[in-house]
């Protein structure tokens, strides 16, 4: 079957999530230090905040799916960690985080040119374990389907989320091409579901795993040529 539909991962494929996350946490930490200038708060680092969030997310894996709730609860856990267990303050910090998390996100420069080239020929969609909404990062109107793991309570690399994506896109699994930066979640998940895949390897890191994509690219702008759209 020929490819009719392309699903894209979000974080680290279309935008630099780690950059915007740390940027948002920096603003949050500044506010926390302003509100609670204790020694323990002044010693708190962004890396500690990230570690607390990751540990909490692991504890509630499969129990709490909503990422915004996990982030809020992680701020509550952070405040407990620094001896200031205040839920109202956690909610305030969460509001600041969300503001910068969504308003300050930047697309990689190869996203829009690639989407403009592909959108005339293929259905495009977002398949993400994250929760960045297209309309909040300049991609409104490009996607005909959006699948978030938190909404369907299945996450990549589980092949079921690719099955759900194909159903929503109205195509067969073999007609769906998935593009992502993670060998572990995007590429392994796609292969297990019988979905062709493109590994976006921006940094040119060596693949020392057994997981192999159908195609490997350093930039999204290489995808149109793979699909026969060059020239």
Report the CATH number at residue 133: 3.40.50.1000
pLDDT at 210: 96
CA geometry: angle 215, 154, 129, nearest 5 deg: 55
196 and 111 inside one domain? yes
- Please provide residue 22's backbone torsions phi and psi, each rounded to the nearest 5 degrees: -65, -40
- Per residue in 155-185, pLDDT (tens digit) is 999 999 999 999 999 999 999 999 999 999 9
Q: How far is CA 118 from the centre of its chain?
A: 21
Q: Give the dihedral of Cα atoms 226, 227, 229, 231; nearest 10 deg.
A: 30
- What's the confidence (pLDDT) of residue 231? 53
| Domain enclosing residue 40, as ranges | 17-103
Residue 62 belongs to a domain? yes
Whether 186 maps to a domain, the answer reads yes
Q: Is the pLDDT reported for residue 1 higher than 80?
A: no
* Nearest-angstrom CA–CA distance, 124 and 121: 9
Residue 182 lies in a domain: yes
Q: How far apart are CA 121 and CA 14, in angstroms?
A: 20
Instruction: Please give the Cα distance from 156 to 182 (Å, whole number).
Output: 10
Is residue 57 domain-resident? yes
Confidence (pLDDT) at 136: 87
**What does the pLDDT average to over 8-32?**
97
Q: Are residues 125 and 197 in the same domain?
A: yes
Which residues fall within 8 angstroms of residue 203, CB to CB, at 6 or more apart? Answer: none
Do 94 and 115 share a structural domain? no
Residues 114 and 218 in one domain: yes
The CA distance from 212 to 221, in Å, is 20
pLDDT (average), residues 72-97: 97
Which residue from 20, 205, 29 is spatially nearest to 130, judged by alpha carbons?
20
> What average pLDDT does range 192-219 have in this prediction?
97
Residue where one domain finishes, among candidates 103, 135, 157? 103
3-state secondary structure of 85: coil
**Position 179 in a domain:** yes
For 50, counting Cβ atoms within 10 Å of its Cβ (0-12 exposed, 13-18 middle, 19+ buried), the class is middle
Among 84, 103, 122, give the residue marking a domain's end: 103
Alpha helices (runs of H) in 82-175, residue ranges in sequence order = 87-103, 111-118, 149-152, 159-169
Nearest to 156 by CA among 117, 188, 120, 194: 188
Can you tell me the distance from the alpha carbon of 199 to that of 219, in angstroms, rounded to the nearest whole number? 10
What is the 8-class DSSP label of residue 181?
S
Task: Tell me: do 51 and 143 sit in the same domain.
Answer: no
- Read off the pLDDT of each residue in 219-223 and give the average, rounded to a whole number: 97
Same domain, 10 and 25: no
Same domain, 179 and 139: yes
pLDDT of residue 79: 98
206-213: average pLDDT:
97
Q: How many domains does the chain have?
A: 2
Residues 190 and 19: beta-carbon distance below 8 Å = no
Between strands 5-8 and 215-217, the pairing is unpaired
Angle between helices 17-35 and 46-59 (to 10 degrees): 110
**Is-contact 184 211, C-beta < 8 A?**
yes
Contact indicator for 50, 70 with CB cutoff of 8 Å: no
Does 41 share its domain with 82?
Answer: yes
């Amino acid at each position: 079957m020929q490819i009719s539909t392309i699903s894209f991962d979000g974080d680290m494929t279309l935008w630099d999530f780690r950059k915007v996350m740390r940027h948002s946490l920096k603003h949050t930490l500044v506010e926390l230090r302003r509100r609670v200038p204790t020694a323990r708060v002044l010693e708190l680092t962004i890396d500690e905040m990230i570690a607390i969030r990751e540990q909490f997310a692991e504890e509630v894996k499969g129990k709490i799916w909503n990422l915004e709730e996990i982030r809020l609860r992680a701020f509550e856990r952070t405040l407990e960690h620094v001896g200031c267990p205040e839920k109202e303050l956690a909610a305030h910090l969460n509001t600041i985080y969300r503001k910068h998390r969504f308003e300050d996100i930047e697309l990689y420069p190869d996203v829009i040119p690639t989407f403009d080239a592909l959108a005339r020929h293929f259905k495009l969609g977002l398949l993400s374990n994250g929760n960045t909404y297209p309309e909040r990062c300049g991609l409104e109107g490009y996607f005909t389907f959006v699948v978030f793991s938190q909404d369907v309570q299945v996450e990549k690399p589980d092949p079921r989320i690719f099955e759900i994506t194909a159903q929503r896109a109205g195509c067969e699994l073999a007609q769906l091409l998935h593009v992502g930066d993670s060998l572990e979640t995007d590429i392994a998940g796609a292969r297990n579901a019988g979905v062709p895949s493109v590994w976006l390897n921006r940094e040119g890191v060596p693949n020392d795993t057994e997981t192999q994509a159908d195609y490997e690219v350093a930039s999204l702008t290489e995808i149109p040529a793979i699909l026969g759209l060059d020239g």
